[in-house]
C-alpha cells in the first residue's frame, strides 16, 4: 500500500469515527418533515391534545432532537388556507423562536410578538381571529426569563406597552427580596404575574373566547420559558 492510499484510508476511518461520535451524542436521529396542518387534522384536535403535543415538542427541543423542517415547502401550502393548532402570544425580546421551543412547523401555530407579551385590545382581536376564524384550539400567553420589557416596567419606563405592564409590578410587592430589575427572581415573579393578568384579561374582555373555553372548544394557558435551556413552567 502506497503512502497516498494510507492517507486516504486514515481520513476515511477518522471520518467514520467522527460520524459515529455525532450519532452517539443524539439520543435518536431527528425526523425530517415538510408537513403542514390540514383542516381535517385541525378539526380532530382538542386544546388538551395540542398542549400535550407542545409539551412533547418542548422535550424534543431540550433533547436536541427537534424535527428538521423544510421551510421552503412550509411557505407554499398556506395559499389554500391556514389551520393552526394554537395561537401563542410571546414577547418581542424572547430570543428563542416559538416554533422551535415547541418543535412545530411554520403555519401550525400563529405567533404574536409584543413587548412583555401584553394582551391589549389589538392582540385580543388577533387571538379571537386565530380561534374563531382560523380554528386554533390552544391559546398560550408565554413570558420568558430575563424579560427586558418587564425589567423596563420595573424600572418605571413610561413607554406605551411597557407602562401597561406596571399593574403586574404593583401586584408583585409581596415579593420578599430585592424588588428591582437586577434581581432575576423578582423579574420572574413579575413576569408570571404579568401572564396571569393577560389570562384574566382574555377571559374578562373577550366573552366569545371565554365561552369557547367554557364549552371546551379551546384551552387557555400561561407559561414561562427559560432562555437558558428552553424549559417551560405553566402558570395558573
Ligand atoms: Zn421579553
- pLDDT per residue over 2-40, tens digit each? 555 554 444 444 444 433 343 444 455 555 554 677 888
The average confidence (pLDDT) of the chain is 85
pLDDT at 37: 79
Question: Can you tell me the distance from the alpha carbon of 113 to that of 163, in angstroms, rounded to the nearest whole number?
Answer: 17
Strand pairing category for 32-33 and 138-144: unpaired
Cell of 73: 415547502
Ligand 1 centroid, distance to 98 Cα (angstroms): 13
User: pLDDT of 66-116, one tens digit each?
Assistant: 777 766 665 555 556 789 999 999 999 877 789 889 998 877 899 999 999
Ligand 1 centroid, distance to 20 Cα (angstroms): 39
Ligand 1 centroid, distance to 140 Cα (angstroms): 15
User: pLDDT of 195-209, one tens digit each?
Assistant: 999 999 999 999 999
Ligand 1 centroid, distance to 231 Cα (angstroms): 16
Judged by DSSP in three states, 27 sits in coil
Q: What is the dihedral of CA 177, 181, 186, 192, to 10 degrees?
A: 160
b/e sequence 49-88, b meaning 16+ C-beta within 10 Å: ebbebbeebbebbbeebbeebeeeebeebeeeebbbbbbb
Judge contact between 125 and 149, C-beta under 8 A.
no
Ligand 1 centroid, distance to 117 Cα (angstroms): 7
**pTM, rounded to two decimals:** 0.82
Residues near ion ligand 1 (Cβ under 5 Å): 91, 93, 147, 149
pLDDT at 79: 58
* pLDDT level of residue 194 (50, 70, 90 thresholds): very high
Ligand 1 centroid, distance to 174 Cα (angstroms): 22
Ligand 1 centroid, distance to 181 Cα (angstroms): 13
pLDDT at 144: 96
**E-assigned strands of the chain?**
32-33, 68-69, 86-90, 109-113, 138-144, 219-225, 232-235
Amino acid at each position: 500500500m502506497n503512502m497516498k492510499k494510507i492517507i486516504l484510508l486514515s481520513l476515511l476511518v477518522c471520518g467514520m469515527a467522527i460520524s459515529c461520535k455525532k450519532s452517539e451524542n443524539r439520543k435518536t436521529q431527528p425526523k425530517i418533515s415538510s408537513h403542514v396542518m390540514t383542516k381535517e387534522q385541525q378539526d380532530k384536535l382538542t386544546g388538551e391534545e395540542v398542549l400535550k403535543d407542545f409539551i412533547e415538542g418542548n422535550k424534543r427541543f431540550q433533547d436536541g432532537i427537534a424535527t428538521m423542517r423544510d421551510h421552503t415547502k412550509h411557505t407554499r401550502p398556506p395559499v389554500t388556507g391556514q389551520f393552526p393548532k394554537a395561537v401563542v402570544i410571546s414577547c418581542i425580546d424572547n430570543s428563542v423562536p416559538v416554533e422551535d421551543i415547541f418543535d412545530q412547523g411554520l403555519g401550525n401555530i400563529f405567533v404574536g410578538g409584543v413587548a412583555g407579551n401584553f394582551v391589549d385590545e389589538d392582540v385580543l382581536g388577533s387571538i379571537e381571529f386565530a380561534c374563531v376564524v382560523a380554528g386554533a384550539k390552544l391559546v398560550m400567553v408565554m413570558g420568558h426569563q430575563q424579560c427586558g420589557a418587564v425589567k423596563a416596567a420595573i424600572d418605571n419606563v413610561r413607554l406605551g406597552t411597557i407602562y401597561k405592564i406596571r399593574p403586574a409590578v404593583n401586584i408583585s410587592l409581596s415579593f420578599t427580596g430585592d424588588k428591582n430589575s437586577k434581581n432575576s427572581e423578582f423579574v420572574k415573579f413579575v413576569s408570571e404575574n404579568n401572564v396571569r393578568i393577560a389570562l384574566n384579561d382574555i377571559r374578562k374582555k373577550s366573552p366569545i373566547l371565554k365561552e369557547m373555553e367554557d364549552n371546551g372548544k379551546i384551552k387557555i394557558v400561561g407559561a414561562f420559558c427559560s432562555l437558558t435551556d428552553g424549559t417551560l413552567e405553566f402558570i395558573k
